[in-house]
Structure 1
Amino acid sequence: MAGGLAALLDDVAAIAKLAAASVDDIGAAAGRAGVKAAGVVVDDTAVTPRYVTGFTPDRELPIIWRIAKGSLFNKIVIILPVALLLSWLLPWAITPLLMIGGAYLCFEGAEKVWEAIAHKKESLAEQAAELNSADHEKKMVSGAVRTDFILSAEIMAIALAEVADEPLLSRAAILLVVALAITAGVYGVVGLMVKMDDVGLHLSQRASAGSRALGRGLVHLMPKLMKVLSVVGIAAMIWVGGSIIVHGLAEFGLDQPEHVIHDVAVAAGHAVPAMHGFVEWLVTTAGAGLLGLVVGGIIAAALHPFVKHKH
């Protein structure tokens, strides 16, 4: 009896060790996959604040929470099962689907650029009325979740490519960890950024002269930073969309755009040896962004009569 119990306990211990090793493996693989997707994660973090710019402070965190829930739904309920299914049955379909999503990002970014250039300024009263309306909040959340869907799909696709050799259940677990970790990280940082002006206001009322100075600095800095992030977010949409299209075309044998951008970037890097890595990255980013702006502009121009008719 004692021998049988000892053997059973040994088996349980062995199973526990195996489970712990599996969890460690999943965590390590999720970490590697997350690092691979870091570039798109940064873009996602830059894009989101523009959707809460201008809202009253009491609505900022609720809006971010609504977007975060939509992002989790995108990743876990839609993208994760579809990505696993496609990687199993139709792996060739992932690239064209990503390219369609990239084209949407280009279109949305180009549309924002056009609105910034062509549309007249609204009065402060009109802006305040719109920003305080429930319809506007719903519209901004919906737009943020749609944009997040494309960025999330790119993040999950990069993560999936990193763990493509893992068994199906391990892939699913790894992608689930990536989805949860990245969503918490992105929207945690965004929430912190949009509330830093409130932190500054609180510090500005403290007794310490240093705290008051820091608080006043944050109060003056954060609105400017949010405006900058709004512009960066639009640029990020165009750049990510253009990059997706460039890489997708290369996978289908149309690698001329990728080669041209690469050759120009390398030449520019050689021209500035002290900063060649940064210059190459900057030129590559600008090339993908320019192509994305052209693609987005063409789509926006093609859809403009329908959008105008709708309104």
Structure 2
Amino acid sequence: MAGGLAALLDDIAVLAKTAAASIDDVGAAAGRASAKAAGVVVDDTAVTPQYVQGVAAKRELPMIRRIAIGSIRNKMLFILPAALLLSEFLPDLLTPLLMLGGTYLCFEGAEKIFERLSGHGPEAEETQASDLTPEEEKTLTSGAIRTDFILSAEIMVIALNEVADESFVSRLAILSVVAIAITVLVYGVVSVIVKMDDIGLALAQRKSAASQRFGVGLVRAMPKVLGTISAVGIVAMLWVGGHILLVGVDDLGWHGPYELVHDLEHNVHDALGGFGAVGGWLTNTALSAVVGAVVGAVVVTAMHLVPRRRGAH
């Protein structure tokens, strides 16, 4: 009896260790997959605050919560099942779809640059939204969720591409962790960003002179912080989109562009010695961003300038 109980406990211990190892494997794989999608995550974080700019302070967090719930629904109910089915039955389509999403990222980044240079960006059309009606707020939230769907699809496809060799169950577990973790991260950070003004105002109204100075500084700094996040988001889109295209054309058999970037990365790595890893990464990132900017500029030209010329004629 005692021997049987000891054997049962040993079996339970082995199962527990196996389960713990599996959880660790899923967590590690989810971390790697999330890191690959970092550029899109930054863009998602940079885009969302724009939807609540000018909204009454008491409505900011409820709107972000609704967008976050919509984001989870997008990922778990629509994107995840479609991505898993695609990877299971039509895996050869993953690379073209990833490249299509990469092209979209290049277009988005280049379009934002075009809007800033031309003066036709969202800033030029900003309206006071503090007195939004429930229907207007619903429309604004729905627009944010639609934008999130595109970015979420790109995040999930990038993550899926990193774990394509795993079993179906492992892919399901890893992508579920990625979907939830990234959504919590993005909208947690967004919530903090949009409430920084209120935190600064609250500190500025305290009796402590140090708190007042910090609060005023925080309020004054937030426009620059948002501008920096937006700029980083644009660069991230061009970098990630360009890198996806370089890797994609290499996978499809055109090895020249990726090999050129790879060789330059190694040359810089070898030339800089102790700083080689950083220099190599920056070289790859910069060249990927250049590719993204060129591709994005071509798409922007096709989408904006050609239709305008036709309309003029």
**TM-score (norm: length of structure 1):** 0.81
For the residues of structure 1 that align with 2:122 and 2:32, how far apart are their CA atoms? 42
Q: Decide whether aligned partners of structure 1 residues 211 and 267 sit closer, same or farther in structure 2, where only a CA change above 3 A counts.
A: same
Contact 1:83 1:157 in 2 (8 A): no
2:169 corresponds to: 169
Q: Deviations over 1:92-144 (max 9, x none)?
A: 221111111111111121111111112357898x5224797635554344324
2:190 corresponds to: 190
Q: Decide whether aligned partners of structure 1 residues 170 and 282 sit closer, same or farther in structure 2, where only a CA change above 3 A counts.
A: closer
SS in 2 for 1:207: coil
Contact 1:41 1:182 in 2 (8 A): no
Which residues of structure 1 form unaligned runs of 5+? none
24, 27, 30: which one pairs with 1:28? 24
Q: Which runs of structure 2 are paired with 1:199-210 in the superposition (5 Å)?
A: 199-210=199-210
Contact 1:33 1:178 in 2 (8 A): no
1:232 corresponds to: 232
Q: Which runs of structure 2 are paired with 1:282-293 in the superposition (5 Å)?
A: 282-293=282-293
- Residue 267 of structure 1 and its aligned partner are, at CA, apart by 2.9
Aligned-partner residue type, residue 49 of structure 2? V
**TM-score (norm: length of structure 2):** 0.81
For the residues of structure 2 that align with 1:91 and 1:122, how far apart are their CA atoms? 38
Aligned residues: 300
Q: Sequence identity, in percent?
A: 37
- Residue 32 of structure 1 and its aligned partner are, at CA, apart by 0.9
For the residues of structure 1 that align with 2:110 and 2:198, how far apart are their CA atoms? 32
Aligned-partner residue type, residue 150 of structure 2? R
Aligned-partner residue type, residue 189 of structure 2? V
- Residue 89 of structure 1 and its aligned partner are, at CA, apart by 2.0
Which residues of structure 2 form unaligned runs of 5+? none
Aligned-partner residue type, residue 20 of structure 2? D
Contact 1:27 1:177 in 2 (8 A): no
Q: Which runs of structure 2 are paired with 1:1-311 in the superposition (5 Å)?
A: 20-21=16-17, 23-47=19-43, 48-53=45-50, 54-56=53-55, 57-120=57-120, 127-129=126-128, 134=136, 138-158=142-162, 160-161=163-164, 164-165=165-166, 167-304=167-304
Q: Decide whether aligned partners of structure 1 residues 20 and 70 sit closer, same or farther in structure 2, where only a CA change above 3 A counts.
A: farther
Contact 2:67 2:144 in 1 (8 A): no
- Residue 26 of structure 1 and its aligned partner are, at CA, apart by 4.0
